[in-house]
Amino acid sequence: MPKRLKTIRGITMNAPARRRRGLQPPAPPLRLTPQVASDPLTDEDVLWHIAEHAPELRMWLIANTAATPELLEYVSQVGGPGVARGFEVLFASLEG
């Protein structure tokens, strides 16, 4: 059974609010890769860390079925390489 991910309340959360809640990525040696970013079992703290600090992996967060609406909103606002195209593909898949 997949583990339950924590949910974030509210429309959007800025980075300082998340830090106050104590969300922190796990200690190294976790290597951030496209597979980690797109894996629905990746901890939410790690996904937020990727969104905030690894712009080259943000497009992979869009493919993660466990990504929260708040996380996807943040990614859409900050952008990054491949993010616009990633959302195009996501929205096209929802239409058909």
Looking at beta carbons, which pairs linking 25-32 to residues 24 or more positions away fall under 8 Å? Answer: 25/49, 32/57
Give pLDDT < 50 ranges for the chain.
1-20
Stated pTM of the model: 0.70
pLDDT at 58: 98
In this prediction, residue 29 carries a pLDDT of: 66
Give me the chain's average pLDDT, please: 81
pLDDT value, residue 30: 78
User: What pLDDT score was predicted for residue 3?
Assistant: 42
How far apart, in whole angstroms, are the C-alpha atoms of residue 14 and residue 74? 8
